[in-house]
Structure 1
């Protein structure tokens, strides 16, 4: 699946075998153009500019290949070919959880099922009978939310997930380490201990070190429902594994064609195509998020917490699949070789094939490797 990227300012990163390292690229008239330079050797440096979109449009560069050629096949690329990487590099990778009412209810179900998928449907029915749609239009942290919280405690259904879902403080956690995210076309990984899991299609904000949002992209915050369901203290094990974070294909920079208001109105589509012929389609909209994106940014970065290299911030997901894939009552879970496509009209499509984390290419190119490569190329 390919996208034209004809409107807007898109920037990303590719692996260049001829320099044995990554380069910054922008999309111009359907071509990937290398704009790596001494002043902007990393995506971190580009996003720290006052107007990165203006720079990306005017910077001199080298045409590498048509976008369509690089995105011709949604499969992992050999290091001998130019291929897309995650569009971020030195930024911290942070994520917000439980920001949508529908998925919030599913987190409560995971917790009460203790990670056992066979118990989920019965708990879902009981919880829906009590909560219904009462959480859907609540503004997190509002006085109305406080009253609902009191009522739920009285009903005996209060949960730590409801606390971060409608309480004053958002859940913000570290999803992955800088440079560890995979990009478009790469394999995305599941920890082999998981038997109940799903993709999480999300919009990801690109945030500079001063807290200003410079653009947005797509992400898959892979979710191990059984692992986190056993204990919230296993969140790190559930979320941060080899290849378990996918971001891309490009960051769309804020300019006259695209802004935070477009993020607030964005729609996302999800398509899962299984090797067994299984097909699942889903959709979500940022219009149903319970916290404004800029509120989530301010809860993540500020005087209380600095990120000198900026951050990528996952916004949370509305998607929580409950459709049975196999035995009745088992719900959805991934199979190896599932093809996952997350798309949004303004941001393109992020495509990854599911593998076990132990079978995905190991992460070996870290910060030290990047610095040595840039130095060798005379860029720092």
Structure 2
């Protein structure tokens, strides 16, 4: 399990690990080695990203070598114990937010889910009807534009308007709470599916790391695990479809923006994803940020501002164009996860995020929350 092929030796990476008998620590990556840079000035990722110059702090902190990246990758497994050395999600106290329906392809799949009422057996017929009317006409639309309003009128006349199209091409983006602070899992961990779901998929995404004032400081990879049947039954079930034990994966590191890598690189990034099943099934997918309907900076502005503050900063999933329709178990049934699927999400410059799928009831319980973190840091003399 290696990340080297997608990491930049000149990039500045920050993450979190669990150190046995110590607890969560901030780390950076230097020449293939994991360096502990936890200090009183920045005991948490939240504190690091709130510094006036996080980049300089990381570069100027000597730190303590822990292990090699390869060693950390090899021992970060779904069956790792609570006190084992392992990757953690690179965020801690930040809110974990997500944007939905930001790509035309996934927007159409959300419409299909809604009209199928969460039943994958009905999806093919509905997909043919909806695509026959809409086609690719939505791909070039600017959300909130006069042309988008005209298309809305046409779709309403065809009785094809949907709440998903509203947030896809209307003026307001869909921004929701994906998971609670401290609840995300990191590279190598299990990702969880609610046991009542039988139609679901991964959502490979880029995730922005933002300070409390809205500054976009860096990015990492994310898996916004999605339950298509539950959300398809009703959009009011979004909380149940999105926020479950181990349903948000982030990692492996946040790459801080500098003069070598910034938001423009995110705007043109390509993501690759592979699902390897224990049954021999394999599915590959590709997502290009060039096809996103809303600019990442606009999504951040719609998340944080005078209307809503995040004093501990926030992580923002930018959405995905990946919505798999390939049949896995039966003709016309489409794709759904099986237990022990291995999901690999990768992009140049941000590395690889690898997770293994299981039921949220079987994934390790989330026990270490904000109060536990505060007590741990006080005990270590860092607060």
One fold, TM greater than 0.5? yes
TM-score, structure 1 length as denominator?
0.99
Any stretches of 5+ residues in structure 2 without a counterpart? none
Aligned to 1:43: 45
In 2, Cα distance between the equivalents of 1:39 and 1:54? 13
Q: Deviations over 1:146-172 (max 9, x none)?
A: 111111111110000000000000000
Q: Is the 8 A contact 2:27 2:36 kept in 1?
A: yes
In 2, Cα distance between the equivalents of 1:86 and 1:246? 7
Any stretches of 5+ residues in structure 1 without a counterpart? none
In 1, Cα distance between the equivalents of 2:242 and 2:69? 31
In 2, Cα distance between the equivalents of 1:2 and 1:322? 29
Within the candidate set 283, 288, 300, 1:285 is matched to 288
In 2, Cα distance between the equivalents of 1:376 and 1:75? 28
Aligned to 1:54: 56
Q: Deviations over 1:251-282 (max 9, x none)?
A: 00001111000010110001000011000000
Aligned to 1:166: 169
Aligned to 1:305: 308
51-60 vs 274-283, which moves further: 51-60
Q: Cα offset for 1:73?
A: 5.7
In 2, Cα distance between the equivalents of 1:81 and 1:7? 29
In the TM superposition, 1:42-191 aligns within 5 A as: 42-72=44-74, 75-76=77-78, 77-191=80-194
Q: Cα offset for 1:117?
A: 0.4
Q: Is the 8 A contact 1:74 1:351 kept in 2?
A: no
In the TM superposition, 1:189-200 aligns within 5 A as: 189-200=192-203
Give the alignment's Cα RMSD to 1 decimal: 0.8
Aligned to 2:275: 272
Q: Is the 8 A contact 2:18 2:83 kept in 1?
A: no
Q: Cα offset for 1:200?
A: 0.2
TM-score, structure 2 length as denominator?
0.98
Count of residues in correspondence between the two structures: 379
Q: Is the 8 A contact 1:218 1:247 kept in 2?
A: yes
Q: Deviations over 1:110-134 (max 9, x none)?
A: 0000000000000000001000000
Stretches of 4+ moved more than 3 A in 1?
none
Q: Is the 8 A contact 2:199 2:336 kept in 1?
A: yes
In 2, Cα distance between the equivalents of 1:115 and 1:79? 36
2:213 equivalent to 1:234: no
Within the candidate set 261, 264, 271, 2:264 is matched to 261
Q: Is the 8 A contact 1:74 1:352 kept in 2?
A: no
